[in-house]
């Protein structure tokens, strides 16, 4: 009897303590949120005045080691106060936030919040600290450091060392491509990295980074990438990346080479990439384009057919006419059904028809 009562008493006591702890945590969060909002409202007009050169007293917004204040400042710079990355960096350096956070990384162990803060501030002064974490055994710390560095303005020698370590960091391919894109280097610099690529993965990465960076002026680079696309000794991953890169160049002489490659290509993945790349080219550039896109709708691969149908839907009335023609083909029900689906569901078809109706009314 007494044992049971004691157990009940202890359970009630524990539950009571849990309730009190929960209430206290919620109250603490509310107090913190209220303090955060008050600090935000107090700093906002001061920071706006500062960036407009209208204030001399910077005490309210100057770095003082308060973590909440640093958080508020960075949120202000990213939101309410509209600044470009260079202006943001200049403000953070002038108000002591860069040096302050860097001092904390020396006095204490580098924390994730410091890495993210340095990334937001984009100061080149953070380069060495962040580079020291690229080989960290903590994957999240390593990843966030790599990302933060990609946002910094780097010197040529720093770019080389960073790219080498980034490629060796074993980060997902798409994230690596994103970080390399963040560097915003000249096309020729990315091309030099591609020429020195030692692995197939590195070749794919740099070809994908060159996507949307190539134009007719990059004639030599485009021809070299075309050669990779046509080299059957290259893996299909490299050929796909080359199709994506040169397709985005929109160079007129690229189109016939892509169409010729399609007719020879055995890998459906590469054919699908070629079909998708057709959206970069206008019908005026080749009288064979619509005909070949229609031919692609009878490809053995569903993805090739789908990509071709999507491109036709974006080619105006001539593309819609081609889809209508295929949708009426009783000999290939799969192609007909796909064409009908695209005509019914694709937004580009709707926009083209709507635009045509408006023009006819006018």
| Model confidence, pTM | 0.79
pLDDT for 204 equals 93
Tens of pLDDT along 314-332? 988 889 999 999 999 878 8
Contact 249, 277 (CB under 8 A): no
The angle formed by the CA atoms of residues 319, 325 and 329, to the nearest 5 degrees, is 140
Alpha-carbon distances, residue 135 vs 165, 199, 230 (angstroms): 8, 20, 38
Rounded to an integer, the average pLDDT of 128-139 is: 89
Which H/E stretch holds residue 328? Answer: none
Residues 6+ apart with CB under 8 A from 144: 112, 115, 116, 119
Rounded to an integer, the average pLDDT of 263-270 is: 94
Number of neighbours of residue 248 by Cβ within 10 angstroms: 17
pLDDT for 345 equals 87
pLDDT for 7 equals 63
Rounded to an integer, the average pLDDT of 241-260 is: 90
Confidence band for 274, pLDDT divided at 50, 70 and 90: very high
Map residue 251 onto helix, strand or coil. coil
Confidence band for 300, pLDDT divided at 50, 70 and 90: very high
Q: Of how many residues is the chain composed?
A: 362
Buried b / exposed e along 93-103 (16+ C-beta atoms within 10 A): bebbbbebbbe
Question: How close are the terminal C-alpha atoms of the chain, in Å?
Answer: 93
Tens of pLDDT along 205-246? 999 999 888 876 688 899 999 999 999 889 999 999 999 999
pLDDT for 19 equals 66
Confidence band for 250, pLDDT divided at 50, 70 and 90: confident
Contact 314, 285 (CB under 8 A): no
pLDDT for 104 equals 85
Number of neighbours of residue 350 by Cβ within 10 angstroms: 13
pLDDT for 310 equals 94
Contact 326, 339 (CB under 8 A): yes
Number of H helices, E strands in the chain: 20, 0
pLDDT for 262 equals 94
Tens of pLDDT along 156-191? 899 999 999 999 988 899 999 999 999 989 999 999
Residue whose C-alpha is closest to residue 218's, from 248, 238, 173, 241:
248
The angle formed by the CA atoms of residues 126, 132 and 138, to the nearest 5 degrees, is 115
Residue whose C-alpha is closest to residue 210's, from 192, 196, 198, 227:
192
Residue whose C-alpha is closest to residue 126's, from 171, 164, 82, 93:
93
Rounded to an integer, the average pLDDT of 279-295 is: 83
Confidence band for 294, pLDDT divided at 50, 70 and 90: very high
pLDDT for 20 equals 67
Average pLDDT, the chain: 87
pLDDT for 361 equals 58
Tens of pLDDT along 51-107? 888 766 788 889 998 888 899 899 988 887 888 888 889 999 999 999 999 988 886
pLDDT for 14 equals 67
For the purposes of burial, counting CB atoms within 10 Å of the CB of 55, is it exposed (0-12), middle (13-18) or buried (19 or more)?
middle
* Percentage of the chain modeled with pLDDT above 70: 89
* 29 compared with 46, residue with greater pLDDT: 46
Q: Is the dihedral of CA 354, 355, 358, 360 positive or negative?
A: negative
Is residue 296 over pLDDT 70?
A: yes
Is residue 359 over pLDDT 70?
A: no
Tens of pLDDT along 24-45? 666 666 777 888 888 889 888 8
């Amino acid at each position: 009897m007494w044992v049971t009562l004691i157990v009940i008493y202890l359970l009630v006591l524990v539950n009571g303590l849990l309730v009190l702890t929960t209430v206290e945590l919620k109250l603490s969060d509310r107090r913190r949120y209220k303090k955060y909002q008050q600090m935000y409202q107090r700093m906002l007009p001061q920071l706006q005045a500062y960036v407009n050169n209208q204030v001399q007293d910077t005490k309210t917004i100057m770095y003082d080691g308060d973590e909440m204040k640093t958080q508020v400042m960075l949120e202000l710079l990213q939101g309410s106060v509209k600044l470009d990355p260079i202006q943001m960096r200049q403000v953070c350096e002038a108000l002591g936030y860069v040096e302050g956070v860097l001092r904390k990384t020396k006095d204490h162990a580098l924390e994730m919040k410091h890495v993210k803060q340095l990334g937001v501030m984009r100061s080149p002064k953070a380069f060495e600290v962040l580079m020291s974490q690229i080989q960290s055994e903590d994957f999240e710390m390593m990843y966030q450091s790599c990302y933060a560095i990609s946002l910094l303005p780097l010197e040529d020698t720093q770019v080389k060392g960073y790219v080498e370590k980034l490629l060796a960091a074993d980060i997902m391919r798409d994230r690596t491509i994103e970080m390399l894109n963040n560097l915003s280097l000249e096309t020729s610099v990315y091309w030099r990295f591609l020429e020195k690529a030692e692995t197939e993965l590195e070749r794919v990465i740099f070809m994908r980074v060159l996507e949307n960076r190539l134009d007719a002026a990059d004639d030599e680079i485009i021809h070299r990438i075309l050669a990779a696309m046509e080299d059957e000794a290259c893996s299909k991953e490299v050929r796909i990346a080359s199709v994506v890169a040169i397709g985005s160049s929109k160079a007129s002489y690229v189109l016939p080479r892509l169409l010729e490659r399609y007719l020879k290509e055995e890998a459906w993945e590469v054919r699908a990439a070629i079909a998708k790349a057709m959206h970069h080219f206008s019908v005026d550039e080749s009288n064979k384009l619509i005909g070949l896109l229609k031919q692609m709708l009878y490809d053995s691969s569903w993805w090739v057919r789908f990509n071709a149908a999507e491109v036709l839907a974006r080619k105006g009335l001539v593309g819609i006419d081609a889809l209508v023609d295929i949708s009426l083909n009783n000999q290939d029900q799969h192609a007909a059904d796909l064409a009908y689906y695209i005509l019914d569901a694709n937004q580009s078809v709707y926009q083209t028809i709507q635009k045509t109706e408006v023009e006819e009314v006018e």
